[in-house]
Structures are given as structure tokens and as C-alpha cells.
Amino acid sequence: MLTFRTSITFAVMAFVVALATLLIAIQDRALRWATQDAASAYMDASSAKAFGRLQTQLTALASLVHVLATSSSLADSNERTETGPAIPLFKAVLQELPQLDSVYAGFENGAWLQVRRIGELNDEQRERLRATPGASTAINLVRPTPDGQLPMRRIFEDQQGNEVGQIDLWKYGYDTRRRSWYRDTMKADRSLVSSPYLSFSIGAPVITVSAPLRGKVPGVLAADLKLDTFSDFVQAQRPGEHGIVVMFDSTGALIAHPDFAEFIVSALTHPSEPQLPNIKEIKSGIVAAVLRRSRGRDQYDGSIRDDQGRDYLFKVVKFALGDQYSAGIMLLAAQEDFAKDVRRLHFTGLVLATIASAAFLPIVWIFGNGMSRALKRITAEAVKLQTLAEPGPSPVPSRIRELHELGSAMTLAQRAIWSFAHFVPKELVQRVVDNSISTELGGVREEITVVFTDVRDFTTIAESADPDILMHQTSRYFSVLTDAFLAEGGTIDKFIGDAVMVFWNAPNPQPDHVERACRAALAARSAGEKLNAEFETEGLKSFFTRFGIHVGEAVVGNLGSTERMNYTALGNTVNLAARLEGVNKQFGTAILVSEAVYLRVRHCFQFRAFESVVAKGMTRETRIFELVGTAT
């Protein structure tokens, strides 16, 4: 039979080795799962961003095209002129949707009108259009002659709408009736979304959204969405340093690819009509391998290894973009991008565990005998931890300092757990923390309505008031204001002395945020008046509240440090609201709003207009209004 020293040595070493092996196995498995989960989550987020952006752009464009196709400025006549009402309409569309390349309309008699944005084109693209220096807009007008000719006049305008150049292309030969976007739309008699193709005139990839005119003359209204910057956006979402993202429509035409720019250059030098490559034409490489494995399925994921031995996780997903158009995306994430640092730590931990296990063997052998009796008693005390039994009056003694400390520590732990059980229930349930608002530093630009309040002559009141009484009075005052603001869904940013900053439309969207802010200010004023009546009864001085309200864009998010942060709003909108509150003192008013607020809610509330002022710290005049009450 083995001695205790031998038994405990082998037992401890076996336990250490087994535990180390188990932990390493668990760590390795957890690493694989974590890597796959991280890569999968990243790919899901990337695909959602890419499709979300494309869908948003196509949806907005389709809606606009549908509205324009019913406009009498276009659909009631096929006679187009340089001063017709359609040109300002097209310019307004380009201004509204900056991602558009051009808006145009073709008619059955061969007439064609196009307004194109050229300010952002590169030199090569402008050279193709023979653009005049300083021109930001090109207007192309084809008016058929009696003998059937289709000459085109191209007019260039600067940003102010002034004509800066004009060229006449008598034999341009552009017949809109022969173009696929015109023929297909007229044949289908409904809105269509084309596959990506290279624009005839500027050599840039675009998608065309078209709709038949609904008026007195037959024709088609269309708009081109540029894809050159969209492909760059998609590649910026690639999962990891070695990640790959490929996006294509239902016909296989490429929308985004790591080599998209090279494809464009190659297509422009094609001997026949320029066209973008189809994903089915990619016959080699890891993209082709994944495409073959997916076999056209709507959703497919897995793992694959490339020619260099790099392991990838991949996902192929198809999405519907409206009723008429669909697209797919292929994402590949290199596993090493998500696990290389963790793998290095994993190897280091394995080496350290092996060294520690080997060094522990002689220590256990030397001190085995001395540990035996103390360990048995400590084991007995450890059993009491499971039953939450009351600890003994003194710790387990031992000549070995480490064992003596262990006995003392066991007694302390036993007493701590026994005492803690008197304050916390034995059955503990982990609380699920709601992570709906990001805990990362940073913010986003959003439109918000900001309200600033302040108490008139608060400094004077504070000088003569008892601090304890003033603290209680101020707390009562803040309570009634807070109730009024929260009742309208306001986000109370902070209390600044006797002032309050509140904003609406963040973090949750509120379509009527301007009205909410005005109602809250009126409610807070009314509640403050009632509270002041109580103060007067109690012999306290009244708190007259002044309000400033403004609506506009601000940066809303987490401000501070990684250890302590505050959800707040920053920007000129916040500053102007604060300044409007102070302007009340100049006009003897209670609630002042900016012109932006007035224009939004003038149908809901009563206002009294004042002259324009330059608020403190501002450089431009601001027209101000007093919020009097709700509309009768």
C-alpha cells in the first residue's frame, strides 16, 4: 500500500495534470466557438450594413421615380426646351439624393432630357462629357428634327445655375427608343430596376430605376444610381484584414468586389460594348469554390481553405430588395484574423501550465507528510462550506506556514459565507442586463429638440436662504419639472445648478419631438406656478423659470472616458437653446423658441414674434418667438 506522501503526491499531480488538460481542451473548444461566433456575427453585421444601404438608396430612388413619372411637367408634353419646368425639377431630385448620377426622361418621338451631376466626376469622366471647367451640372437635350434627326445640345451650369458652356452634337446618334431601359420599361408598363452596367457616357457603374410616364404622352422616366463608391463602402465592411466581400444581383452581375475598380478599367477597354463581368465568369480562386458549393441556395455557410492554406469561414445570403429586384452577398472571414492573439495566449498558457506542473512535483513530495493531518482537518472544515455551517472558534493549526494560512483563510472564508448568507438569499438568480444602448464612446448625428431652463435670480435667492431649506426647495422644484418633461418622453441630460437640460428624439425616435418639447415647457411652466403658490404659503421665495427651445442636428452619444461616461448631446443646436433661455431676460418672457421650432409647430401653439437677435456667443441673427400657449 502506498504511503500518504506518495498517494497525495500522485493524487495532486494527477489532479493538476487532469485539470490542466481539461482546461486546455475547454479553452481550445471555446476558442473555436468564439472565433466562429465572432466571425459569423461580423459577417452578419457586414451584410446587413451593405444591403441596408443599397435597399435604402433603391427604395428612395424608386419612390421618387414613381412620383416624377406622374408629374404634369413631364408626362403631359414631349416638347422639351432649355427652360422647361422639368429641368428645375430634375435638379431638385439630384439635390435631394446625392448618390444619384443623373435623372432623365425619354419620349416616343425621340426627345430626351437628362440632368446629370458632374461636379464629383474625375478628370477622365469630365473629359468624356467635354465638360466646361467650373461646371457642376450637365443638361442634355435631344429634340427631333422634322426629317427624323436627333441632334443633342449639352448645356453646362455652375453651382449657382449660371450657364458656363454649351456644345451642339449634331450627329450624336442617341435614340432613347432603342435603349434597353426605355424598351423594357415600355414593354413591362411598370417600374423596373436594371442590373449593374457601365454608363455609356462616363464609364462608371450604375443601376437604373425606371418607370413609364403616366400622362398625355408615352415615355419613360429613369434615374441612375452610381455604384463606384458603393463598392468601396462594401469593401470597408469586410470581416477582418483578409476578409472578402462580393455582392451581385439575381442575374449574377457584380455590384461590389475587391477588384471592382480593375473590372471597370478592363470593361472600358473591351473590344465590344463595355460591360461588367458576371460572378459566374469567375472560374478560379476561393470565390469560385464557394460559389460552386452554394449551388444557388438562398442561404449557405461553412468553412473552406484557400490555395495558401488559410482557413476561411464563409456565408452566402440572398436578399429581396423590393418586389422587382433581389441580390446576393458572399462574405469570407479568415479565422486567423479573429483568433491569432488568442492562439498565442493559448500556447503561452500551455507552456506555463506544463512548467508549473513539473515544478510542483518535488514540493508536494517534500511536504506531503506535514500536510496530511492538516489537510484532513481543513477538508473537514471545507465540507462545512457546502452546508453554510457556523465556523469553529479557531483556525486549523499547522507547523507549515502555508497550511496554517490556508487553515486561517478557510476559517475566514467559512465565516464570510456564513455571515453573507444572513443578507443574501441562498438561491441566487443571475440578472440579465439590458444592453439596448451602446457602452462604447462616440455618438451619431441626429435631429433633436433641446430645452434649457433656468431660475431667475437664483443666485440672489441662494445668498439669503438657509442651505438646508434651499436644498429641499430646489429638489421639490426639480421634481415637478422632471415630471413634466418625462410625461412627454424627454431625456433629461443633466442638472446644472438650478438649470435643466432636456432633449427629445434620442435615444428613441419621436416623430413629434418638437411638439412634445413645447407641450412639456408649457406643462412645466404651469406646474412651476402651482409650486410657487405653495412656496409663498410656506414663506419661501418663488422660482420663476425661463425656457429656451431649439431644434436642429446635434451629435448624440456617450461622452467621457472608458471608465466613466455620460449620454449627452453636443453641437450648436444645444448652444443656441441655452442662449435662447438667457434672451428671456432681455424681453421679460418665460419661453422663447427659435424660428426653426416656430415653423414646425406654429399650427399647434400660439406664438408672439420678436425681432431677430444675435444670441450671446453666436455670429448670425436668430428670429425668436415667445411660446404663449396651445392653439385654440
CATH no. for residue 572?
A: 3.30.70.1230
**Is residue 339 domain-shared with residue 397, that is, in the same domain?**
no
Residue 168 in this model has a pLDDT that exceeds 70: yes
In this prediction, residues 117-139 reach a mean pLDDT of 85
Q: Does the bond joining 151 to the residue before it have cis omega, within 30 degrees of 0?
A: no
CA atoms of 627 and 632, how far apart (whole Å)? 14
Q: Which of 343, 362, 381 is the last residue of a domain?
A: 362
Q: In terms of domains, do 532 and 453 share one?
A: yes
- Asked whether the predicted pLDDT for residue 344 surpasses 80, the reply is no
Closest CA to 193 of 103, 65, 323, 324: 324
**Buried-state track 486-510, b at ≥16 Cβ within 10 A, e below 16:** eebebbebeeeebbbbbbbbbeeeb
Instruction: Give the pLDDT band (50/70/90) at residue 531.
Output: very high
Which range marks the domain in which residue 452 is found? 442-630
Q: What is the pLDDT of residue 484?
A: 94
Residue 367 zone, left/alpha/beta (φ > 0; ψ -120 to 50; rest):
alpha
Q: Quick check: helix, strand or coil at residue 497? A: coil
Burial of 184 (0-12, 13-18, 19+ CB in 10 A): middle
User: What average pLDDT does the segment 118-140 reach?
Assistant: 85
pLDDT at 120: 81
Residue 354 shares a structural domain with residue 372: no
pLDDT band at 251 (very low <50, low <70, confident <90, very high): confident
**Is there a single domain that holds both residue 234 and residue 264?**
yes
Higher local confidence (pLDDT), 349 or 320: 320
Q: How confident is the model at residue 429 (pLDDT cuts 50, 70, 90)?
A: very low
- What tens digit of pLDDT does each residue of 535-588 get? 999 889 999 999 999 999 999 888 888 777 777 899 999 999 999 999 999 899
Average pLDDT estimate for 254-274? 67
pLDDT at 109 over 60: yes
Q: Is the pLDDT of residue 425 over 70?
A: no
pLDDT confidence tier of residue 385, bands split at 50, 70 and 90: low
588 and 612 belong to one structural domain: yes
Residue 532's pLDDT is: 92
Per-residue pLDDT, averaged over 492-516, amounts to 90
- Gap between the Cα atoms of 375 and 403, Å rounded: 8
Query: Domains in the chain: how many in total?
Result: 3
Task: Collect contacts of 557-566 with beta carbons under 8 A, ≥24 apart.
Answer: 557/438, 557/441, 557/442, 557/443, 557/444, 558/438, 558/439, 558/440, 558/441, 558/442, 558/443, 559/441, 559/443, 560/441, 561/441, 562/441, 565/439, 565/441, 566/494
Which single residue is written with the C-alpha cell 439630384?
94
Q: Which of 107, 99, 128, 112 is nearest to 227 (CA)?
A: 99
Is 170 domain-assigned? Answer: yes
Same domain, 345 and 396: no
* pLDDT on residue 343: 63
Per-residue pLDDT of 46-59, as tens digits, reads 778 878 888 788 88
**12 closest CA partner among 4, 386, 404:** 4
Q: Which of 81-85, 393-397, 424-428, 448-452 has the lowest mean pLDDT?
A: 424-428
Query: 330 and 459 in one domain?
Result: no
Query: Which of 401, 429, 457 lies at the terminal end of a domain, its last residue?
Result: 429
Q: How confident is the model at residue 187 (pLDDT cuts 50, 70, 90)?
A: very high
What pLDDT, on a 0 to 100 scale, did the predictor assign at position 315?
A: 85
**472 pLDDT higher than 80:** yes
Tell me, what's the pLDDT at 432?
25
Percentage with pLDDT > 70 across the chain: 78
Q: CATH code at 302?
A: 3.30.450.20
Chain-wide mean pLDDT for the chain?
A: 80
Higher pLDDT, residue 84 or 473: 473
H-run or E-run covering 39: helix 4-68
pLDDT of residue 424: 33
Residues 609 and 546 in one domain: yes
Which of 305-309, 322-326, 338-342, 412-416 has the highest average model confidence (pLDDT)? 305-309
What are the angstrom distances between the C-alpha of 198 and each of 121, 228, 234?
A: 15, 10, 19
C-alpha cell, 280: 459566374
Max mean pLDDT range (145-154, 490-499, 525-534): 525-534
Radius of gyration, alpha carbons of the chain: 36
Which of the 8 DSSP states describes residue 280?
Answer: G
The secondary structure element, H or E, covering residue 18 is helix 4-68
Q: Are residues 327 and 418 in the same domain?
A: no
Residue 74: its pLDDT value, please?
79
Mean pLDDT of 501-506: 92
- Would 435 be classed as within a structural domain? no
Q: Tell me if 290 is assigned to some domain.
A: yes
Q: Let me know whether 309 and 164 are in one domain.
A: yes
- Among candidate residues 535, 616, 631, the one with its CA nearest the CA of residue 581: 616
Residue 436 lies inside a defined structural domain of this protein: no
The torsion angles phi and psi of 338, rounded to 5 degrees, stand at -105, -5
Q: What is the mean pLDDT of residues 223-238?
A: 80
Which residues pair with residue 444 across a beta bridge? 556
In a domain, 434, yes or no: no
- Pick the last residue of a domain from 330, 345, 362: 362
The mean pLDDT value for 514-524 works out to: 96
Alpha carbon distance 506, 563 (integer Å): 23
Query: How distant, in Å, are the alpha carbons of 415, 530, 600 from that of 525?
Result: 57, 9, 21
Closest of 597, 595, 598, 600 to residue 622, by C-alpha: 595
| Helix or strand holding residue 591 (H, E) | strand 591-594
**Backbone φ/ψ region at 289: left (φ over 0), alpha (ψ -120 to 50), beta:** alpha
Please indicate, yes or no, whether residues 419 and 488 belong to a single structural domain of this protein.
Answer: no
357 lies in the same domain as 376: no
